[in-house]
A = this chain, B = another copy of it.
Amino acid sequence: MKIIDGGVTAAQGFEAAGVEAAIKYQNRKDMSLIYSRVPCKAAGVFTSNVVKAAPVLWDKEIVAHSPYAQAVVVNAGIANACTGKEGYACCARTAKKAAAVLTVPEDSVLVASTGVIGWQLPLEKIEAGIEKLAAAKADTPEAGLAAVEAMMTTDTKPKQAAVQIEIGGKTVTIGACCKGSGMIHPNMCTMLGFIATDIAISKELLQEALSEDVKDTFNMISVDGDTSTNDTLVILANGLAGNAEVTEKGRDYEAFREALHYIDTTLAKKMAGDGEGATALFETKVTGAATKEEAKSLAKSVVCSSLTKAMIYGHDANVGRIMCALGYAGVDFDPEQVDIFCEGDGNRMQICRNGMLTDYNEDEATKILAAPEVSVIVDMHRGEAEAAAWGCDLTYDYVKINADYRS
């Protein structure tokens, strides 16, 4: 596997664009297009929230029932959630306009929105934006970057990743981008994520690879515990790599899975580290758990705790809060077996042994926790299973951003 530069336009046959459409934000790009020159197999995973945004309902239909997908139209600023029939009709109109401009079928157009919930989208601006997108689309890295920049809300950095692998002597590329900063929590995030690959693969295996991989990647991150109404992760595979179609599990499938896992992990960590107001990526690794599920529950509990998150912001190695968060994770363990380490900038220190504080040096611990990427490693001494979860610190800026997001 070779890590390469670029994002959603890295794979063959994919084009992208990002333009200003003044949906809500002014003087910045706020609409994106991802487009494949040829039809794609599509797979997707969507929010588990009962309150699903209109674009989520639309895309679920397309992924389940359309013969193929060929374009994604994204807007930032308004989420098109809690918008009823009018909101769903807006998705249909968006797809219709894009279909006309791109000369593709209406049911090959996916849509995605992020932003304020409850407001209707201004359809005329969306339609004007689609015309600009179609005119601007290109297969360059710059076009991929413009697309991801245009979908940012409170994100501070565009998030992209790309890799190449060999399958049957052919070079297969996977490029991807995502946005997400608030309302981020396991079970998908507002989080919009788009993966574009030129692999030839059956639709069933494409969906299975995606569904399995999100469990250990995007579903293991949390910024604030709020599962959004709009979470969407879509993968498009257009087959232009020319490999013999992957139709069963085996070496080729595993190579693809490994590459996809790298892409998903990279983007998930970028998303966690760029959580609203965050100053640090906060990773928790649980080892020595009895089962994988148990390891995941424990790791998630620690990264989701407001108190551990505030402690990371304060660079304060507060073992009690970590023990406390482990203790309410729903796992029945013996506290006196637990060892805890913290790690940052390549330095590692044991801060808890057998459930009690070690006599670690506070100044050293503070230095470790001041790193931009901080890990808490918990050894449960119960078995062999392990898992990781990712979050970020809780800061003044998180409160500031969310006390009045709409104004």
Contacts and interface: CB of A to CB of B under 8 A. Distances in A.
Interface of A: 48-52, 79, 81-84, 116-119, 182-183, 185, 187, 224-229, 304-307, 310-311, 313-314, 316, 318-321, 323-328, 331-333, 335-336, 352, 354-357, 394-396, 398-400, 402-407
Contacts of A183: 307, 324
B319 A226 contact: no
Nearest to A318: B406
A335 B50 contact: yes
Contact of A83 (B229, B356, B407): B356
A131 B335 CA distance: 34
Contacts of A81: 320, 323-324
B118 A320 contact: yes
Given A82-B355, A306-B224, A396-B396, A51 B324 contact: yes
Contact of A324 (B119, B227, B328, B405): B227
B227 A82 contact: no
A111 B278 CA distance: 40
A306 B49 contact: no
A184 B49 CA distance: 25
Nearest to A335: B51
Contacts of A357: 82, 118-119
A307 B84 contact: no
A361 to B, nearest CB: 15
Nearest to A327: B51
Contacts of A336: 84
A389 to B, nearest CB: 16
A399 B394 contact: yes
Contacts of A305: 225-226
A191 to B, nearest CB: 13
A307 B225 CA distance: 9
Contacts of A314: 402-405
Contacts of A49: 324, 327-328
B327 A399 contact: no
A319 B117 contact: yes
A326 B331 CA distance: 26
